Structure 1
């Protein structure tokens, strides 16, 4: 009799364990119960992906990720945002650290060999940010001027190699330092993706101080990274992105995150169409 009681109790514990396991992991497309989904974003790009001092998150990528997760069955409280630095994005997906990544992640052939992409969901361009009263009107005006970008970035070197060979390059650890240098007059322009520049310029402390030149020096097709071979998730995310555009939520997110900088965004890109 004792053996029967112990066995029944064990079976009950086992059933509870199996039930709890089935509700975890964030791999299901149902947000019922206590499911969580882990999503990779940037923590340090205002207007794109930013962790606020109070622990909340803001930015266009955050809005896109939240919309997509909801279409997959998860409410905002069930989303766990994970910082994914540029150099670790492919590894984070292959290790299963996150379900998908929305982090100013430009689609290119080298990356497509390691991960799959949904989208693109934004077409950005390399551009130049200058002070609102600057006389710099185009890239060639940077000859003899100070140009800032982040160490290891190819953006500033592209300007020097192709447009303004006499520009003086200044590299900083991050874009925050470049923007501060632009504000103080230590540099005359900052270069990277226009979406990133617009995000910084839209911050309350910088509103009205800077302008984008609209140079469109490159095409950056932002995609949502998914583990290689996970076609089912790619298809579901693409459907969510299409719905986000159709119901105007996409344009609303663009306006709210980039609008204060006068960012003239491209129309929402077609799913699967990469602009070279």
Structure 2
């Protein structure tokens, strides 16, 4: 149940071009009682470039102190304050601080709203030229080579377009591991410095992009990777899969649907073949 206390506002900030700052962002900054900023110096620089002089109390709110800040920010909102969360670029919570305070505010019945705006995820997806009707955001994978390779192997069969973040100094290793796990010929796009002066959008296969990234790369990086192409499955294997699922207690229609998806075969053809197989094995 929502209370009559303050409000939590998640405010998207420009990912590069300061002119992308919306009027709503300006209002939120000027009307805030407390501003929780990922980097207070970068936030004050943003205000300077926007010509704003906020009167709010500005506190740091980054990965290292996020959990410790929740209690104080929540108390401020319960006293009626408007708390605005801003990160260095883009929308809070999306691979940035914000989740913990949103969760706490929601549990306390405090109103949570957002000032929408720039997003590296959606901007990269839009300019990539890869299918955008269905996609998944994977964020940053582990910086540890073994864990990174396992994470990429886990999404090798993902059919939706995938969006990743990566640090520039790890980009070459990420792309090389992605080429191994997802296929050297998998189409991908590397977006560097989106909306900034030296914006660069590079398209190619994972192998080609991995070779390019062996040189020095700088700036903010977003990677968009095409989803897996469904394999031409084996109908007999899919039939065996259905029979095994049914014998394990699954309903026939559900087993057919799941097996058709896994094996990449037509559902009706599998349904008919599995019926015949069940009768023959009865």
The TM-score, its normalising length taken from structure 1, stands at 0.31
Higher helix share: 2
By relative contact order (CA 8 Å, sep 6+), the higher-ranking structure is 1
Higher Cα Rg, which structure? 2
The TM-score, its normalising length taken from structure 2, stands at 0.31
